[in-house]
Homo-oligomer: A and B are copies of this chain.
Amino acid sequence: MTTKVFLTEEEMPRSWYNLAADLPSPPLPPLGPDGNPITPDMLAPVFPMNLIEQEVSTERWIDIPVGILEMLHRWRPSPLHRAVHLEKALGTPAKIYFKNESLSPAGSHKPNTAVAQAWYNKEFGIKRLTTETGAGQWGSALSFACSLLGMECKVFMVRISFDQKPFRKVMMQTWGGECVASPSSETNIGREILEKMPDTPGSLGIAISEAVEAAVSDESGQTRYSLGSVLNHVMLHQTIIGQEAKMQLAKFGEKKVDSVIACAGGGSNFAGLAFPFVNDKINGADIDIIPVEPASCPTLTRAPYAYDHGDVARMTPLLAMYSLGHGFIPPAIHAGGLRYHGMSPLVSQTVAEGLCNPRSINQLECYKAAVTFARTEGIIPAPETSHAIAAVIQEAEKAREEGVEKTILFGFSGHGLMDLKGYQLYFANELKDHELSEEDLIASLESIKDLPQIPHR
């Protein structure tokens, strides 16, 4: 039996799918410091205008330029596998498919948008990109993309990760990227924080602030900032994942999928797989679409839908999203890519409008699921990906108990070869769960209570 389906390069999608065109209500605009919607030109010092246009576009299909398609062809289309060995181990009547994004040179789905963003910046005359990275996946992917296009890349990496994961820096360096620990002495905000807190482990919020400052303060005008998740154009670039998966399910002979499952941190992996299926759901299909997040950082499952900043230092515009509060510091769980206080506004809206059913799962259950997957399907999952796998196992076991045959599709967003520390601690019984307490949640939400409210619609 065939358990893996490729597509040819010719079959690859030629357009990105923009969910903003099909959502029941129009997306809510980002707001500036004065509470008024921000205009495209206000973003011009930070992003190139061609990406700003994509950010606000409501066109349903946006053509992928040939230059970007050629870069994607280096590793795409990615295969869709049927997880027959996992099915067998679970004794489930469910059919489980996974879209394997771990085969990109950086090991995850992140390069899909990295090559697109770098390409648009280069088209616009930009020579240098700045960004932040937490666990290191995004900094690696952007360094890779810049390398292919002969651009410079500067990555501010949260200090604690920088110290704990020295090889992520080496990866970026191999692709010619420059990676510094954040807070750094290279920006005003970095120096200010280092003076007050010389021993701070850093945070994604601080790193974002430094990367934005480094971009806008380059007087040559040849530097811009790049973000690996959250924003609309990032979600857009990832939609090739779900489009390919649909074609591949058809080649497997599947006429219908019952559940679509992916992990969600900033939202781009989830959006990439799920948005083409959200469209089907808007058009009447009966699909259970499940973004999965850590119980320790339960943005979609326990936070309010509110306007909030994307960063701790409140330098970014206010975004309409589920948010635990920009001051929220998630515990040090090993799925670094899921440790974010907010969520993509487009993903947030699908939840607010009842199109998706988010779920949170604790870390230990996720590692257990990851090990089951590695020992049956043979691929070691990233800690982020293990959240999707844990939810798949829950669904497959439910199907077994109910005796229902169903078709489950999930996103295998990345491999775990750069994240084996978490597995090591798991096997040594040194990991624990960190469920967010009600008191801590209430305390964290203090930081957003004076911000503008989302209008009732």
Contact = CB atoms under 8 A, between A and B. Distances in A.
Interface in A150-185: 166-167, 170-171, 173-176
A9 B1 CA distance: 10
A371 interface: yes
A247 interface: no
Interface stretch (A187-195, A294-302, A375-383, A402-410): A375-383
Contacts of A173: 423, 427
Contacts of A144: 378
Nearest to A145: B378
Contacts of A148: 85, 378
Interface string A270-283: 00000000000000
Contacts of A8: 6
Given A3-B74, A73-B4, A171 B420 contact: yes
A417 B74 contact: no
A364 interface: no
Interface residues of A, number: 41
A105 B100 CA distance: 11
Interface in A65-91: 70, 73-74, 81, 85
Interface centre among A2, A85, A380, A418 (most CB of B within 10 A): A380
Contact of A73 (B2, B70, B105, B147): B2
Interface in A351-397: 370-371, 374-375, 377-380
B421 A167 contact: yes
A107 interface: yes
A417 B173 CA distance: 13
A367 to B, nearest CB: 10
A103 interface: yes
Copies of this chain, tallied across the complex: 2
A170 B420 contact: yes
Contacts of A174: 370-371, 374-375, 380, 420, 423
Nearest to A111: B378
A200 interface: no
B374 A175 contact: yes
B105 A378 contact: yes
B74 A378 contact: yes
Contacts of A36: none
A424 interface: yes
A417 B107 contact: yes
A166 B167 CA distance: 13
A152 to B, nearest CB: 12
A420 B147 CA distance: 18
Contacts of A166: 424
A420 B172 CA distance: 11
B417 A175 contact: no
B4 A74 contact: yes
A123 B144 CA distance: 44
A103 B379 CA distance: 11
Contacts of A375: 147, 174-176
B378 A167 contact: no
A144 B379 CA distance: 9
B105 A379 contact: yes
A226 to B, nearest CB: 17
Contacts of A73: 2-4
B423 A170 contact: yes
A424 B170 contact: yes
Contacts of A370: 174
Contacts of A423: 170, 173-174
Nearest to A150: B375
A427 to B, nearest CB: 6
5 contacts: A3-B70, A3-B74, A74-B378, A144-B378, A147-B374
Interface of A: 1-4, 6, 8-9, 70, 73-74, 81, 85, 103, 105, 107, 144, 147-148, 166-167, 170-171, 173-176, 370-371, 374-375, 377-380, 417-418, 420-421, 423-424, 427
